[in-house]
Amino acid sequence: MSVSLQDFFTQLHTQRENTDEQITYTYKKLLKPQPVSSTQAAFLAQLTKKDLDTIRRWMDLEGVSKLTKQPLIECLTQEQTTAINRFILSMDNERLQWLKKFVAGEAIRLDHFTAHKLAFFTYTGLTFAIKDKDEYVLIMPDDVRRQFGAYDQNEWQIQADINDAIIRLTQGLLYYYGYMPKSTVFELVSPIVSYNLVRADAVIKDAKTYYDYMRETEQDLMDSRVIDLDSLKEQQQKSIYQKHYSFTDDQLIQAGTEDFMDLTDELIQLVKHLKERYSLDDQTMNRYMDDCLILLNSFIDIDPSFLYLSQQLPVTTEDDKKMLLALLQTSQDSIHTWALKGNKRKKDVNQTTETKKVGRNDPCPCGSGKKYKKCCGK
């Protein structure tokens, strides 16, 4: 194995481990007891100075970075309106639905939120995770609820619909291409908000934190599954395609939804073969397929994905090797690949390969008989 490919595998495993550790750490860190007073100041007092600084940075407050904890809490409560305006500016439909529940005084169980969503809500300084009796919930302080209630809510749905379009279009671009220069993304999405780049930037930044589907460098936005951006750029330069595949806006917006999978018949056959041939449980199967899809997307050929699976599974006989190689090849041929700038390895003149959107409560297409969210969608 080449050193560069070994480094890629190492980064792949490190990224997965870091994600698992972050989930555990985030829930443990942000969960606090119910304060005596249900005010924003009382909830903020339970956070660390580092957490308060994160809230300050999200609110774009300047000139207060050197404040000690108590003066900073006072500053954040005084700027409550600033935080509310920022939240409304960038929220999409999912966050709008949660906001309506919070403003109505509901306490939402934490198991409804991923670690990233929980952290996002906490670091707005507008909601907080607490233990209430025997339940772990996310709630909004009473004074924050009253402040939200003073707003004219008639425009909230329009704002959320517009922001939804920006987020889903951006995530769709990255889903299919792997990465895009920020300048290109803003050129494509800014017309949705009449070229208001400040708003577009806020919407994308908050979506990046909330959903964890995107990461960024100084120049580029990338799908969060991209392991090595420089390597991906090199692969794209080696490909025979000079241009990115031209998706429709509808295709990109669909690919930007949270439950979307570009799940072709060929990928389903690969999943079925691996589960049946190697008796894999759902969790292991899901992990291998996640990694395998990253490799199929990141490289022009199937050698890295074959090498990876050969290391994880007892692929010992020649028949096993031939079958796995064949299934990997047809799988890669069937998908729009990052390394090929969103194109397919084999051009399909009629573009008839069907893309399936699998809902979380739909039967899993691997044939297990379980719901997708309880099987390959974990």
Q: Which residues lie below 8 Å from residue 327, measured CB to CB, with a gap of 6+? A: 266, 269, 270, 273
**Which residue positions in the chain have pLDDT lower than 70?**
1-3, 18, 20, 347-378
Q: What is d(CA 302, CA 304) in angstroms, rounded to the nearest whole number? A: 6
In the numeric block, which tokens belong to residue 170?
């951006």
| C-alpha 8: how far from chain center | 21
Q: pLDDT at position 350, please?
A: 41
Q: What is d(CA 40, CA 1) in angstroms, rounded to the nearest whole number? A: 55
Q: What is d(CA 291, CA 329) in angstroms, rounded to the nearest whole number? A: 16
Residue 130: strand pairing partners: 32, 137
Sheet holding 179-181, edge to edge: 179-181, 220-223, 214-216
pTM of the model: 0.85
Q: What is d(CA 42, CA 128) in angstroms, rounded to the nearest whole number? A: 11
Q: pLDDT at position 10, please?
A: 84
Over the stretch 54-67, which tens digit does the pLDDT of each residue have? 999 999 998 888 89
Over the stretch 29-81, which tens digit does the pLDDT of each residue have? 889 999 999 999 999 999 999 999 999 999 999 888 889 999 999 999 999 99
Q: pLDDT at position 28, please?
A: 83
